[in-house]
Amino acid sequence: MGKPTGFIEYLREIPLDRSPLERVRDWKEFHHHLDEKGLRNQAARCMDCGVPFCHTGKLMSGGASGCPVNNLIPEWNDLVYRGLWREALDRLHKTNNFPEFTGRVCPAPCEGSCVLGINAPPVTIKNIENTIIERGFEEGWVNAEPPATRTGKRVAVVGSGPAGLAAAQQLNRAGHSVTVLERADRPGGLLMYGIPNMKLGKEEVVMRRIRLLEQEGIKFVCKANVGDNYEAQMMRKDFDAIVLCTGSTQPRDLGIEDRKLAGVHFAMDYLTEATQAVLGKGSAKAKIHAKGLDVIVIGGGDTGTDCVGSAMRQGCRTLTQFEIMAKPPLERADDNPWPEWPRVYKMDYGQEEAAAKFGKDPRAYLTTVKKFVGNDQGSVKELVTVDVRWQQNNRGQLVPVEQPGTERTQPAQLVLLAMGFVGPETGLPQDLGLEFDERRNVKATYGEYATNVPGVFAAGDCRRGQSLVVWAINEGRGAARECDRWLMGKTDLP
């Protein structure tokens, strides 16, 4: 490394965010930026560790350890320290098609497995990654790169989320003619409607990349709901190969009393409406809106946090977030050693904003909802919760057990279910004759991505289940490689 003693000389420093009470007044991204000297100092903290776990990209104890796309992190950290930004961008693009997405929304498992993080704050990898790609756009280094020749093969990519975009770009680079079919009114999938603007700008970030992909020759067709307004078997006739990247979009429901009351919604329906309103496609008085309401978010994770942040911006009256799991410890527990993802307590941006306005972290741990209670108009007015404790059942499994005498009633006029997803919608895979695995995902082996139907491949959340954007990019790249191999008998794609 260019600065062997950098990790000793410099402390971890990340740019300050806009203050919570200021940023909830708008939907703009809220991160500030370090100056170049500060960024180069942070890159200098990347130590000559010998074995850089940061880019190993493995699953450990059910979570990602290291970068799933195997970013060459020590290399571009060293180049940033030396001021060689163009070279750093080249190294970053070798493994990651869209660092402007991961640099904003990835939880950074690379930092969780940073060797420096064993006994000190880890390197600010995510912030450096985002700065490299934004420097590239500012300097005009990121341009459309259409292939020199075409193979004559036509490929359909179904879904324009991170897996679909990665597959499309890689297949286009191989010279195939790629059409991306998206059922929504705008391309981007999860990136467009599943992640709010304050985390990922739509026009300035997502559409900026979509326009580049179009310039490279990729065709996007929106409002194309395959299996509905475009027959699946017709798609098979129109294209030489198909890559399914439809995501895991069936939300986990809460089967309790009065679930069907008005005002109880799935998180993704709410987030989609909120984004459409910001983009001018909806209304401030949209059907699902938090203004002046007591809002309950059921479930943690990124989706729950995004619901919290969105409700804060819409002007909710109160906000509470229920989490069935226990509150994480402040430091790694003994059963969560490095280089596993650190399961420790933190407040994400949404919780910071709620705490700033209401005086405390909005989350209530070890809590589950027993029933909803409606008013005379058939709308939810409150809910009943109960505390739980995790205990082993007779099969050795940990299960939540309700604690007698802990029932409480809380007002709620808007309830958002953010409890994750149970798998892809099954209609299109069934129309194509695809097999499912035991988890009801499309059956295709990791690394091969081929389904039981020749010429049909699956990647991303529809194959692996709900996961991270960075895993989706990993799988989109891999599916493109195997699709290219199937079409041409060989492949040069990484």
CATH of residue 475: 3.50.50.60
Residue 406 lies in a domain: yes
- What share of the chain in percent tops pLDDT 70? 99
Find the radius of gyration of the CA atoms of the chain.
23
Q: What pLDDT, on the 0 to 100 scale, is given for residue 30?
A: 93
Of 246, 263, 169, nearest to 211 (Cα)? Answer: 169
Residue 66 lies in a domain: yes
- If asked whether residues 204 and 287 sit together in one domain, one would say no
Residue 466 has pLDDT above 90, yes or no: yes
Q: Where are the alpha helices (DSSP H) in 162-229?
A: 162-173, 207-215
Mean pLDDT of the chain: 95
Q: Distances from the Cα of 12 to the Cαs of 39, 43, 90, 405, in angstroms?
A: 10, 10, 25, 46
Residue 366 lies in a domain: yes
Residue 299 lies in a domain: yes
Residue 494 lies in a domain: no
Of 336, 326, 304, nearest to 63 (Cα)? Answer: 336
Q: What pLDDT, on the 0 to 100 scale, is given for residue 423?
A: 95
Residue 145 lies in a domain: no
Residue listed under structure tokens 């069935």: 324
- If asked whether residues 113 and 175 sit together in one domain, one would say no
Residue 149 lies in a domain: no
Q: What pLDDT, on the 0 to 100 scale, is given for residue 48?
A: 84
- If asked whether residues 177 and 321 sit together in one domain, one would say no
CB 369 within 8 A of CB 383: yes
Last residue of a domain, one of 419, 436, 467: 419
Q: What pLDDT, on the 0 to 100 scale, is given for residue 283?
A: 55
- If asked whether residues 405 and 442 sit together in one domain, one would say no
- If asked whether residues 427 and 411 sit together in one domain, one would say no
Q: What pLDDT, on the 0 to 100 scale, is given for residue 329?
A: 97
Total domain count, the chain: 3
Last residue of a domain, one of 70, 105, 139: 139
Q: Give the end-to-end CA distance of the chain in Å, rounded to a whole number.
A: 26
- If asked whether residues 89 and 13 sit together in one domain, one would say yes
Residue 350 has pLDDT above 70, yes or no: yes
Label residue 305 left, alpha or beta by phi (over 0 means left) and psi (-120 to 50 means alpha).
alpha
- If asked whether residues 303 and 397 sit together in one domain, one would say yes
Structure confidence at residue 403 as a pLDDT band (50, 70, 90): very high
Q: What mean pLDDT do residues 8-28 have?
A: 95
Q: Where are the alpha helices (DSSP H) in 299-443?
A: 301-314, 349-358, 427-431
- If asked whether residues 304 and 199 sit together in one domain, one would say no
Q: What pLDDT, on the 0 to 100 scale, is given for residue 287?
A: 84
- If asked whether residues 298 and 426 sit together in one domain, one would say no
Last residue of a domain, one of 365, 399, 419: 419
Query: Where in the sequence is the domain holding 35, given as residue range(s)?
Result: 6-139
| Per-residue pLDDT tens over the stretch 190-207 | 999 999 999 999 999 999
| Per-residue pLDDT tens over the stretch 366-396 | 999 999 999 999 999 999 999 999 999 998 8
- If asked whether residues 287 and 399 sit together in one domain, one would say yes
CATH number where 29 lies: 1.10.1060.10
Residue 282 has pLDDT above 80, yes or no: no
Q: What mean pLDDT do residues 137-165 have?
A: 98
* Cα–Cα distance, 428 to 226 (Å, whole number): 7
| Per-residue pLDDT tens over the stretch 71-123 | 999 999 999 999 999 999 999 999 999 999 999 999 999 999 999 999 999 99
- If asked whether residues 397 and 269 sit together in one domain, one would say yes
Predicted TM-score (pTM) of the model is: 0.95
Residue 285 has pLDDT above 70, yes or no: no
What is the DSSP pairing of strand 58-60 with strand 63-65? antiparallel
- If asked whether residues 404 and 436 sit together in one domain, one would say no
Q: What mean pLDDT do residues 241-248 have?
A: 98
Structure confidence at residue 325 as a pLDDT band (50, 70, 90): very high
Q: What pLDDT, on the 0 to 100 scale, is given for residue 254?
A: 95
Q: What mean pLDDT do residues 58-66 have?
A: 88
Residue 144 lies in a domain: no
Write out the two tokens for 241.
């190969």
